Structure 1
Amino acid sequence: MRKSKNRISFLIFLAPSFAGVIVFVLTPFADVLKRSFETAVTGRFTGAANYRTIFQNQAFLLAVKNTFRFTFICIPLLVVVGFVIAWPLSKLKNAGTIKAIYLFPLAMPTATIVLVWKMVFYKQGFLNIFLTGLGQWTGTWGQVQTDYLETEAAFWVLVCSYIWKNTGYTVVLWLAGIAGIPAELLDAAKVDGAGSFQRIWYIVLPNLKGSLYTIVILSFLNSFKIYREAYLVAGAYPHKSIYLLQHIFNNWFVNLELDKMAAAAVCTGGFLFIVILLLQKMWDRDGTS
């Protein structure tokens, strides 16, 4: 009887959030899935024609390549940079104040960040002014007027912006994980003669798998949100090195090509879901081994 009451209480507690997921997530996605097999205007069933169309679209393939490249470069960099900063910070007494400083970029409006980019990386930006002055002072080169956001360097500008903006929460998550490691383990390893690197490799990192999983998932999802910065800086058709999936989604939406947009959204959502499941399975396997 008590088990039955607990089960009913659990279902009542879960019902509002579950209903919200059904109404605001699953139902719209089911509609997108249906539209991915139809034409945009007439709603006529076309089978897999929309999927064949998007995978033959050069702009879509370029966007997929750039998005994957951006994600697979940024996430390892962010994880490593965050830990390199967090480890020495964990030994300081006033780490709380420093954490607040690292979180500051997250509080900055996107428009402000974009304005800084333009002031630094455009033809008459601060970087070119500095390089021009340096070249004239050394007599090595003349005036520099490179528009970095219109060259391959635009990709690395985007990478640096992502790392700068997201390092703060990564550091905080690493610090939370490090704080949960018993000090006795590190002290015992130190007494046994383990060096600093050995303590990090054999004690600290194995105890931070939960933090690493959270950081990777959040970083993976956030890497798909960098579109705002790229769009505000270079518009709907930026340099090809920073033409991302969100750009093509926006352009298809503007042109009312909703059938192609639906098919691409289903592929993207399915890919994200599979990656998260694989990461979860990998972490669960490592945790039980």
Structure 2
Amino acid sequence: MKRKIPLATARVDGRRVKQNKQWGTALIFLAPSLTGVSLFLLIPFIETVRRSLCDTLGTRFVGLSNYQSVLQNEAFHLAVRNTVRFTGVCVPLLLVFSLILALALRSKPLRNTPWSEWYRTTFLLPMAIPVASIAILWKVLFARTGLINALFGTDCDFMNTEAAFWVLIATYLWKNIGYDSILWSGGLDAISTELYEAASVDGAGIWRQFVAITLPNLVPTLIITTVLSLLNTYKVFREAYLVAGAYPQQSIYLVQHLFNNWFLALDLPRLCAAAVLVAITLLAGIALLLRKL
């Protein structure tokens, strides 16, 4: 005689089977991405951590001596100071300027013109320009015999003075302002127009609406834009390296220059230790920002 299965138990088993099928389907679709992330990110990072704890040959465990050597290295101190300074200046400037640009592109004088989309495209064009072309542009503009000196009658080698830092800042802003303005525009589009209409009925002006409605609703967009802008600061090294080489003017000697020089010198233990320190710092900062979402 067959034992009857309670209806409640049968329903639970049915749900469990359905959930298992859903998990199986999800894993099938995620498998290519997980494989790629494991091969190109997780496994190399684990190997980097291992090499940071070993000697040059990677066969003998030396503990934290490589980290101690990195933290006592003057070149590392200089690179970190410059990188923090560069990030601390350019990211806030980019966020402010790109937000102003996004608001300007959404204003009635520009939004109602047939050229509105053309304006957006124009500001995105710098991202499509090859790095080598930007390096040539730098040399044409800022070399001692360049266009800037010719126009103003000066004799200054900008890339070998403190001005190189501000040239790097200007390049970063020029390349990324269009991208960030698109992100801001997405956040602005997500704000309900009913909020502004209600505020107008209550007598709130444009500035009051911006402070009380726009800014609070842009906080999630602000965090995402900040994270992406922070990550993009590491890409500006390419232009600096092509123009000034492995040992540029002191103010633009960044962490990436240090990594490149240690790699060329085959100083892999210190390179791995420094990379782990930078990665942990960067991930911790991003995690703190994302917690506020």
TM > 0.5 fold call: yes
Q: Could you tell me how far 1:95 is from its partner in structure 2? A: 2.6
Query: 1:82-93 to 2 correspondence within 5 Å?
Result: 82-91=98-107, 92-93=111-112
Is 1:110 the equivalent of 2:110? no
Match of 2:190 in 1: 180
Is the alpha carbon distance of 1:193 and 1:42 closer, same or farther for their aligned partners in structure 2, counting shifts above 3 Å?
Answer: closer
Is 1:22 the equivalent of 2:32? no
The structure number with the bigger radius of gyration is 2
Match of 1:73 in 2: 89
Query: 1:143-222 to 2 correspondence within 5 Å?
Result: 144-222=154-232
Q: Could you tell me how far 1:267 is from its partner in structure 2? A: 0.7
CA-atom RMSD, angstroms? 1.2
Q: Could you tell me how far 1:42 is from its partner in structure 2? A: 5.8
The answer to whether the 8 Å contact 1:118/1:233 transfers is: yes
Q: Could you tell me how far 1:15 is from its partner in structure 2? A: 2.5
The answer to whether the 8 Å contact 1:155/1:242 transfers is: yes
The answer to whether the 8 Å contact 2:142/2:158 transfers is: yes
What amino acid is aligned across from residue 289 of structure 2 in structure 1? L
| DSSP-derived class of the 1:84 partner | helix
Match of 2:149 in 1: 128
Structure 2, unmatched stretches of 5+, are: 1-16
Work out the number of aligned pairs and report it.
272
Match of 2:288 in 1: 278
The CA distance in 2 between the partners of 1:153 and 1:240, in whole Å, is 11
The CA distance in 1 between the partners of 2:75 and 2:198, in whole Å, is 57
The CA distance in 2 between the partners of 1:42 and 1:223, in whole Å, is 31
Match of 1:101 in 2: 122
Is 1:257 the equivalent of 2:253? no
The CA distance in 2 between the partners of 1:216 and 1:273, in whole Å, is 13
What amino acid is aligned across from residue 122 of structure 1 in structure 2? A
The CA distance in 2 between the partners of 1:188 and 1:89, in whole Å, is 23
Match of 2:4 in 1: none
Q: Could you tell me how far 1:21 is from its partner in structure 2? A: 1.6
The farther-off stretch of 17-26 and 246-255 is 17-26
Structure 1, unmatched stretches of 5+, are: 133-143, 285-289
2:48 to 22, 32, 55: 32
The answer to whether the 8 Å contact 1:90/1:179 transfers is: no
| DSSP-derived class of the 1:145 partner | coil
The CA distance in 2 between the partners of 1:42 and 1:3, in whole Å, is 45
CA offset digits 1:148-196 (Å, max 9, x no partner): 1101111011001100110010111111111121112112212221111
| DSSP-derived class of the 1:256 partner | coil
CA offset digits 1:112-137 (Å, max 9, x no partner): 111111111111111111211xxxxx
The CA distance in 1 between the partners of 2:87 and 2:70, in whole Å, is 21
The CA distance in 2 between the partners of 1:255 and 1:148, in whole Å, is 29
The CA distance in 1 between the partners of 2:217 and 2:285, in whole Å, is 23
The answer to whether the 8 Å contact 2:140/2:147 transfers is: yes
| DSSP-derived class of the 1:229 partner | helix
1:10 to 26, 47, 56: 26
Q: Could you tell me how far 1:19 is from its partner in structure 2? A: 2.4
The CA distance in 2 between the partners of 1:173 and 1:96, in whole Å, is 15
The CA distance in 2 between the partners of 1:70 and 1:21, in whole Å, is 29
Taking only the aligned residue pairs, the percentage that are identical comes to: 45
Runs of 4+ in structure 1 over 3 Å off: none
Q: Normalized against structure 2, the TM-score is what?
A: 0.90
The CA distance in 2 between the partners of 1:126 and 1:177, in whole Å, is 39
